[in-house]
Structure 1
């Protein structure tokens, strides 16, 4: 069995089934080390982990949403020009993002059937504003100001990533020197590009729907599900981000703050990886029964920050309720305790859109 390390403080609860899943992965051929991050939770493959391998790669660890990640945009609109009620009204009119047409700016054929859509589950678009700045120098280097309205888009490569996984799935892994591994990595890298393009297309559609093209500027973009070659090793990340590409945004649930953080030079202990979010606390199947007496169809669309959620799927609203997620502050505290990050700023939700 290879080395397993869990990065989490005593306050940060990690379910036993997720730990058992790490043990199962540790028995795969070529696995050298596994790190479970504080947002670790169980799934078909546990989410919130990094796996280092040699000789073999494992497409099923990455899963079907290759390149799922987050892009933070500055939209060229200040707080005083933010028209919350008008924007909510406009976004409420969207039946499906696939109905909104935008110009095709790419020469090659798009492998995503509905470019500019976010899908379901925990994917979202969220307008945010700065809540508090902790490191002014790093904050200003990101070309941000406390007067900016930001847009955070969370989605991935949609059907394209699923097509790739179906083609290359092999629970026993693929030898890295094989033609199949090279073909997978070529498709994988293409999916990363199209996942980011998909987030860009979503941002344009959202801005178009509220009646302004704005001046959209990408501040940072990070992937959650991908393989990164590092020297002669391969780091598989499932629900984890690289610490080697500068600033990272770590969102909580729709009812909590998001954190912009700067990785430290200590992330070798976490396989150069950081948490991608708060991580689920409850399975989707139990959320509605646990929360049906707390929320109705109206108040479930409001948060303690007085932000508003736009979603026509009542079941999804319950599944994605803040209570279903771990406490983002505990996730951040764990990363600080292990000296993996410095907090740059926190962002507060204003409007959350779920397709």
Structure 2
């Protein structure tokens, strides 16, 4: 069974009447029993009325990930620490024919070193306090976050009509609220001994969490914009925002609050990316009016097939294998200097994004517009200046540099 939703608190009583759970996936979807067990636990949480589960469903720390959940209570545990995490898609004015992947990868390696505008001004423009985690803005973070340069592999009629160009280049950015969301989550957990019961949205504690939540969502959106701006600057290109879709947040509805836990929050007619892996296609879809049946939620990505611990020993057992994981069949390159992350984020760790989109199409939740192939995936680069400084230290030379092997 998956991790308890309470995670340190008393378990949810099984006598609670479970909420309705609607499955928006087929028998072809890879769904772990642990995730289904967690769904059942979530259906018994106080105030929960309805749950929509998507084909990227997988176990999470505080409940299954890949769900939209309607509740009269606020459940901060379900949203977790990366409040406002989402995906933003941008178009570049750099044509595909002018791209040299190796050269562009060297430029993108310095992505997080690119200068950005005055952060205080940017925060103020977003109606956020000017001292709100300014040093973390424009940074990707770890885990499954990334900035990826993509090109169109397949283009549907709807994608052509929407102005997508099969000779264009696009940036897909996946990141969230970084240290800000983590701080809000830690304070919330520390301040409530029975957080598993949720918070009354009309209470002082509920209102305070909602206010902090809203700031995290706005900050995370700005963060994705700045990551893209840095990437565009590294590539010497201009960019335009196509869509910005969060997938870790709550939104009010006329029936309560919809919690999107690893599920893209969309409205009818809204474009949304569904990420694959660094060695598989991502997809751009248009949400249909049918998404009202799924609480305005759809999958945001392929979803994990194997957890991080399980991946160690499956792939990347030596340096040669890890280097192979940094390339894909389209000649694409992954920039990731963290050996563990290379293994944990291998393509085989994820489900089939094609099957995920097919299930959503068959449920009449989305219409596919385009499929995009990964050319350069930036996850984590070593600070070259720091590496050089370490190389000059006597203890590093005595160890032969083994402690700083790149892969």
Return the TM-score normalized by structure 2.
0.82
Q: Distance in 1 between matches of 2:137 and 2:34?
A: 36
Q: State the partner residue of 1:249.
A: 273
Q: State the partner residue of 2:286.
A: 262
1:337 to 343, 362, 383: 362
Q: 1:168-247, aligned counterparts within 5 Å?
A: 168-169=188-189, 170-210=195-235, 212=236, 214-244=237-267, 246-247=270-271
Q: Distance in 2 between matches of 1:262 and 1:292?
A: 36
Q: Is the 8 A contact 2:267 2:289 kept in 1?
A: no
Asked if 1:134 is matched to 2:156, the reply is yes
| C-alpha spacing 1:338/1:171, structure 2 compared with 1 (3 Å) | same
What is the CA deviation profile of residues 176-230 of structure 1, one whole-angstrom value per residue up to 9, with x for unaligned ones?
11122122111111111110110111112223334x1x22110100001000101
Q: CA deviation at 1:17?
A: 0.5
Q: For residue 197 of structure 2, give the secondary structure of its aligned residue in structure 1.
A: coil
Q: Is the 8 A contact 2:316 2:325 kept in 1?
A: no
Q: Distance in 2 between matches of 1:260 and 1:233?
A: 29
Asked if 1:152 is matched to 2:172, the reply is yes
Q: For residue 285 of structure 1, give the secondary structure of its aligned residue in structure 2.
A: helix
Q: Is the 8 A contact 1:118 1:155 kept in 2?
A: yes
Q: State the partner residue of 1:115.
A: 137
Q: CA deviation at 1:81?
A: 2.0
Q: State the partner residue of 2:341.
A: 316
Asked if 1:32 is matched to 2:55, the reply is no
Q: CA deviation at 1:164?
A: 1.4
Q: Distance in 1 between matches of 2:366 and 2:250?
A: 22
Q: State the partner residue of 1:163.
A: 183
What is the CA deviation profile of residues 22-47 of structure 1, one whole-angstrom value per residue up to 9, with x for unaligned ones?
11111111000112110000011321
Number of residue pairs the alignment of both structures matches = 347
What is the CA deviation profile of residues 275-301 of structure 1, one whole-angstrom value per residue up to 9, with x for unaligned ones?
010000001112130113696232111
Q: For residue 144 of structure 1, give the secondary structure of its aligned residue in structure 2.
A: coil
Q: State the partner residue of 2:302.
A: 278
- Aligned CA-pair RMSD: 1.7
Return the TM-score normalized by structure 1.
0.93
Q: CA deviation at 1:167?
A: 2.3
| C-alpha spacing 1:235/1:139, structure 2 compared with 1 (3 Å) | farther
Q: Distance in 2 between matches of 1:353 and 1:344?
A: 25
Task: Choose 1 or 2 for highest CA Rg.
Answer: 2
> Mean alpha-carbon deviation: is it higher for 178-187 or for 34-43?
178-187
Q: Is the 8 A contact 2:245 2:266 kept in 1?
A: no
Q: For residue 289 of structure 2, give the secondary structure of its aligned residue in structure 1.
A: coil
What is the CA deviation profile of residues 56-77 of structure 1, one whole-angstrom value per residue up to 9, with x for unaligned ones?
1111111100111111111211
Runs of 4+ in 1 over 6 A off after TM superposition: none
| C-alpha spacing 1:262/1:175, structure 2 compared with 1 (3 Å) | same
Asked if 1:346 is matched to 2:366, the reply is no
Q: Distance in 1 between matches of 2:291 and 2:176?
A: 25
Task: From the two aligned structures, give the one with the greater helix fraction.
Answer: 2
Q: For residue 73 of structure 1, give the secondary structure of its aligned residue in structure 2.
A: strand
Q: Is the 8 A contact 1:132 1:347 kept in 2?
A: yes
Q: Distance in 2 between matches of 1:20 and 1:110?
A: 42
Task: From the two aligned structures, give the one with the greater strand fraction.
Answer: 1
Q: State the partner residue of 2:322.
A: 297
Structure of higher RCO (CA pairs closer than 8 Å, 6+ residues apart): 1
Q: For residue 142 of structure 2, give the secondary structure of its aligned residue in structure 1.
A: coil
Q: State the partner residue of 2:389.
A: none
What is the CA deviation profile of residues 165-184 of structure 1, one whole-angstrom value per residue up to 9, with x for unaligned ones?
12223221110111221221
Asked if 1:78 is matched to 2:95, the reply is yes
What is the CA deviation profile of residues 128-158 of structure 1, one whole-angstrom value per residue up to 9, with x for unaligned ones?
011111124x5433x4322211111100010
Q: For residue 77 of structure 1, give the secondary structure of its aligned residue in structure 2.
A: coil
Q: For residue 298 of structure 1, give the secondary structure of its aligned residue in structure 2.
A: helix
Q: Is the 8 A contact 1:227 1:236 kept in 2?
A: yes
Q: CA deviation at 1:85?
A: 1.6
Q: For residue 313 of structure 2, give the secondary structure of its aligned residue in structure 1.
A: helix
